[in-house]
Amino acid sequence: MVEIKIDGYVARLITDDELVLNIGSEAGVSVGDIFEVLDSATIGVPDPRTGKVLGSLRRAKTQIQVSQVAENLSLARNTGPRSSLSALSRVVSGTGNALLTGSSWPDGVRVGDPVALRTMKKPQISPSS
């Protein structure tokens, strides 16, 4: 069975391409970290007859990059591909980052979606004495 390591969750959707995560510097998050917002429908999939968990598949809805970090939360921006309809509507309307008017992004990201670190942190190399 594939183990999916969940690092945190989407806490709030701010604009149509910015969101807040429920993890911050206390959890080791740094500016520039890249996370995947995972599709919770593919995590812990149960057998419809027995209820036994069959396993998990890592399926990303999109990719986000952290731009600001506080102790227990962080702000991230969507860096994954956007739907052409979403991009077209932003061009036609003349808006940059529109304030969010619904409860999810056009690509289906919702509050409560799990996130997992995509890039591994590079080890710190200390100078030799």
CATH number at residue 48: 2.40.10.410
* Residue 16, phi-psi category: left (phi > 0), alpha (psi -120 to 50), beta (remainder): alpha
Tell me, yes or no, whether 84 lies in a domain.
yes
Residue 88: what pLDDT? 47
- The token duo for 60 is 């990303």
Tell me, yes or no, whether 124 lies in a domain.
no
Tell me, yes or no, whether 42 lies in a domain.
yes
Number of domains in the chain: 1
Tell me, yes or no, whether 28 lies in a domain.
yes
pTM: 0.74
CA gap 55, 1 in Å, rounded: 5
Task: Give the position of tokens 């959707």.
Answer: 13
Tell me, yes or no, whether 128 lies in a domain.
no
- The token duo for 123 is 């080890």
Residue 7: what pLDDT? 92
CA pseudo-torsion sign 99, 22, 111, 39:
positive
Residue 77: what pLDDT? 96
pLDDT in tens, the chain (129 residues): 556 687 999 999 999 899 999 999 999 999 999 999 999 999 999 999 999 999 999 999 999 999 999 999 999 999 987 644 454 444 554 545 555 555 667 779 999 999 999 865 554 455 554
Residue 62: what pLDDT? 94
Residue 105: what pLDDT? 79
Identify the domain containing residue 28 by its residue range.
Answer: 8-117
